[in-house]
Amino acid sequence: MIRDEQPGAAPPRPRALTIAGSDSGGGAGIQADLRTFAAFGVYGASAITAITAQNTIGVRAVHDVPAAVVAAQIDAVLDDIGADAVKTGMLSNREIIETVADRLRAHAVTALVVDPVMVAKSGDRLLREDAVSALRVLILPLAAVVTPNSPEATVLSGIDVVDATSAREAARRIHDLGPAMVVVKGGHLGGDTSDDLVFDGRTFEVLSGRRIATRHTHGTGCTFSAAICACLARGLAPLEAVREARTYVQGAIEHAEPLGGGHGPVNHLWRLSNG
């Protein structure tokens, strides 16, 4: 997107916009995204799609923001501040998805990261059944990178993702829906390592990392996609952005501090507190 700069002025800080739900517990959603942007030195703006009452144990209530208000938030940010990259998270219902897709096209957003949020870490559903087809048809074709976990990849592709072979076929099918790059995350699959599969329509690449035995993983999907978005805003190529985001999330999990009685959040600011 075009920057609004004064002649001779220093380049502004990279900017990113997150379009997602609010997590009252602070571990996921808008709150996780903005902390992640800050950790990468990126100015973060937000358009809130839903207000959730949740903590580390579960989701107690969800209130969808009217689609017109979601559109107004997006327009307000992009008409004035702008964004070098945008990510979507929880989009909740079909009307919001249709509205978000319309505004992304209107603002010619190309550096888009889509986290197809469907279910919370606690198991509570965050995307209505009738919205899945709209996500496939309207949002995925706009994406530079889409980051489904294995259950989300199963829904989007129709392939039961249970291992590396099925993940490859799911990635092919999701890529056929239009995104430039697909990252099928392996955190839900078994094994000693947590392997993410990257497919750009031509080649596959497996990014492998050590699996960490911890229950403090709330918001990892939001954090990963936000980190990719921040890296794109900073000018990294998509594959390099994915690699850097993996390193960041690995550290955020390793340095997580125990909070709450369920799935606690990762430590988004671990680099600042650990040098």
User: Smallest Cα–Cα separation from 113: which of 64, 42, 25?
Assistant: 42
The set of residues, in sequence order, having a beta carbon less than 8 Å from that of 72 and lying 6+ positions away, is none
pLDDT by residue (tens digit) across 107-144? 999 999 999 988 655 555 567 777 889 999 999 999 99
Asked whether the beta carbons of 223 and 187 are under 8 A apart, the reply is no
Beta bridge partners of 202: none
Determine whether 87 is an active site residue: no
Determine whether 264 is an active site residue: no
From residue 123, give the alpha-carbon distance in Å to each of 31, 54, 56, 95. 20, 12, 11, 23
Q: Find the catalytic residue in 87, 217, 223, 264.
A: 217
From residue 88, give the alpha-carbon distance in Å to each of 139, 155, 255. 9, 18, 26
Q: To which residue do tokens 């945008």 refer?
A: 86
Q: What type of residue sits at position 11?
A: P
State pTM to two decimals.
0.92
pLDDT by residue (tens digit) across 61-103? 999 999 999 999 999 999 999 999 999 999 989 999 999 999 9
pLDDT by residue (tens digit) across 45-64? 999 999 999 998 989 999 99
Determine whether 217 is an active site residue: yes
Determine whether 231 is an active site residue: no
Strands 112-114 and 181-184 come out as: unpaired
Percent helix, strand, coil in the chain, to 5, is 40, 25, 40
Residue 3 has pLDDT above 80, yes or no: no
Q: Find the catalytic residue in 87, 219, 223, 264.
A: 219
Q: Find the catalytic residue in 221, 229, 231, 264.
A: 221
User: Smallest Cα–Cα separation from 84: which of 200, 236, 225?
Assistant: 236
Cα–Cα distance measured from residue 253 to residue 209, given in angstroms and rounded to the nearest whole number? 12
Domains of the chain, start order:
15-269 (3.40.1190.20)
Residue 275 has pLDDT above 50, yes or no: no
pLDDT by residue (tens digit) across 152-210? 999 999 999 999 999 999 999 999 999 999 999 986 566 667 789 999 999 999 998 77
CA dihedral of residues 210, 213, 219, 224 (deg, nearest 10): 0
Rg over alpha carbons for the chain, rounded to the nearest Å, is 17
Determine whether 220 is an active site residue: yes
| pLDDT (0 to 100) of residue 112 | 98
| pLDDT (0 to 100) of residue 122 | 55
Asked whether the beta carbons of 220 and 147 are under 8 A apart, the reply is no
| pLDDT (0 to 100) of residue 120 | 59
Cα–Cα distance measured from residue 20 to residue 268, given in angstroms and rounded to the nearest whole number? 17
Residue 229: pLDDT band (50, 70, 90) is very high
Sign of the Cα pseudo-torsion (47, 113, 244, 152, in order): positive
